[in-house]
Structure 1
């Protein structure tokens, strides 16, 4: 099927702004642009601070979904984890209640303005709420240096961590952290996220032996097919995650997880539960800790309900045009 023109994209684009139940990544509302093509719907939702070059990959993913469709899958359901933002310990049970049946939780740590004590208390609250057999992983979004990461992970390790996601910002730091953890006898695997999806050369994670596993996301990597290629080339176990998408965008993440030859970890694809609204009445929400693999179509009435103000629509149309030049 032929690729769309920029005019095709601008003719179909709809921009929505959906409030979050809890602030996440420092934002209270999630803005995304949705595209409709012959294969269905795609989502263009790079975070607002991302420049055109990075946004171009997100646009490629949206175009893949709407004009090309998704590749064949090998499973019909995908296990997902609960996602716990940087909330106070007393708020943890309420957050976990939005993820029924999930036996794995990802906990945000290293939040700006918070301390390691806050992280330890939050993880302890998750462990207390989920019990001894649940899996808990933490995500620092590159917020620690090597020494801080080793110290805090040493404090968190007694709570039983599945892994630490992007504890440090640079690939070299991840490598050094793995060495430091081994020397200290701290058994916490390291996962690379931003070092894969934001890198010019994601294979440096493999080449420097900087991670035990990788976290992949369809949109930031340019689509499902490109993400599958990266996993195959990297050769490390992969966890599929999302980027705070609506159900339209989440469907691409689910399709990616469903197409992986091997899937040993619950996926971070349950974050539609963090939105206080959606673009479809049939949201992609976990049932018994799993998501069904299916397509999602946007609902016209909900697109109208969550439609962004005119100035934001213009901003997104300009952003789409800039990304198109580089896609």
Structure 2
């Protein structure tokens, strides 16, 4: 397939689900998504509700790629994944890590609103008691001065593999790298939500790029960006956008197709859901295998969103599909 499927084709077998979460993550306790089915399998359309249609249309392009074209050829059959630790109390850390058997790396959320640096340090140190390789993710929540103070505090008892998006803007990331050279900086939002994903790298604001399939427009778009980043000597970490099992499968497939994969990927987020659209795939020895995912009809029925929310998602797809038609109907040539 080289052309965009029609709106009717996209919506023909679409279902909208609402997944309950074990803990609050990114400020939400349920994750809504639309699943679409095409000749190559299933795709996922799940841009966060606050995203405008232009940004959300990239997520629809990704869903269409997965369902109408399928994954690219892979180079490995397993992908190492990190444990993901939300901004929970340190006492909850051991139970959370139990969902990631064999994980050798953990990503810890920090800079949560309503919490303080002492909470972050306690959480990171609680993780270190079980997993020595720790990376932190601030989601752009610090100023430069706050980031500098926090990174010194968070490395007082051990190193960090990297700090993901410590500040929101590219100039701030450049300054953090200058002032805290001992901690590598990874860019996430500065890449996936930027008109020019390479801007942060050209400016010297990132040692590592965190890339996600859906926001970039699909698996092949991710691979193309990773190839460009490699020319700057910047490796990538493939991560989840809080995906259902369908979206995780696309992320694993993209990671498995990369020529080089130096870091554990942030694709082990399925454990954050109380229930998923398919049987949960727990990491084995810290890695996920490459495999297609078909939603389980009984699970999908149990997780079905309300009719009102389903209509909201259908209208959103309608608008995003129109944007894709205007942008380039030959999206996948």
Question: What is the TM-score when the length of structure 1 is the normalising length?
Answer: 0.96
Q: 1:321 aligns with which of 315, 318, 322?
A: 318
Name 1:109's counterpart in structure 2: 110
Structure 2 residue runs of 5 or longer lacking an equivalent are 325-333
Matched, 1:277 2:278: no
Matched, 1:64 2:65: yes
Q: For the residues of structure 2 that align with 1:177 and 1:164, how far apart are their CA atoms?
A: 10
Q: For the residues of structure 1 that align with 2:89 and 2:278, how far apart are their CA atoms?
A: 31
Structure 1 residue runs of 5 or longer lacking an equivalent are none
Q: For the residues of structure 1 that align with 2:13 and 2:176, how far apart are their CA atoms?
A: 46
Q: For the residues of structure 2 that align with 1:277 and 1:302, how far apart are their CA atoms?
A: 8
Deviation (angstroms), 1:78: 0.2
Name 1:219's counterpart in structure 2: 214
Matched, 1:4 2:5: yes
Q: For the residues of structure 2 that align with 1:97 and 1:316, how far apart are their CA atoms?
A: 34
Matched, 1:251 2:252: no
Cα shift readout 1:290-325 (whole Å, capped 9, x = no counterpart): 000011111111111110010000011011111112
Where 1:7 maps in the other structure, the secondary structure is helix
TM alignment of 1:155-234, pairs within 5 A? 155-158=153-156, 159-182=158-181, 187-234=182-229
Q: For the residues of structure 2 that align with 1:77 and 1:61, how far apart are their CA atoms?
A: 22
Cα shift readout 1:59-114 (whole Å, capped 9, x = no counterpart): 11000000011110100000000000000000000110111110100000000111
How many equivalent pairs are there? 319
CA contact (8 A) 2:99 2:282 kept: no
Q: For the residues of structure 2 that align with 1:268 and 1:103, how far apart are their CA atoms?
A: 12
Name 1:94's counterpart in structure 2: 95
Where 2:74 maps in the other structure, the secondary structure is coil
Matched, 1:81 2:82: yes
Deviation (angstroms), 1:284: 2.8
Name 2:286's counterpart in structure 1: 289
Name 1:302's counterpart in structure 2: 299
CA contact (8 A) 1:74 1:260 kept: yes
CA contact (8 A) 1:3 1:67 kept: no
**Structure 1 residue runs of 4+, over 2 Å off?**
none
Name 1:267's counterpart in structure 2: 265
Q: For the residues of structure 2 that align with 1:59 and 1:254, how far apart are their CA atoms?
A: 18
Deviation (angstroms), 1:12: 1.6
Deviation (angstroms), 1:231: 1.1
Q: 1:242 aligns with which of 240, 244, 247?
A: 240
CA contact (8 A) 2:17 2:304 kept: yes
Where 1:36 maps in the other structure, the secondary structure is strand
CA contact (8 A) 1:101 1:289 kept: yes
Q: For the residues of structure 2 that align with 1:309 and 1:192, how far apart are their CA atoms?
A: 36
Q: For the residues of structure 2 that align with 1:228 and 1:214, how far apart are their CA atoms?
A: 12
Where 1:325 maps in the other structure, the secondary structure is helix
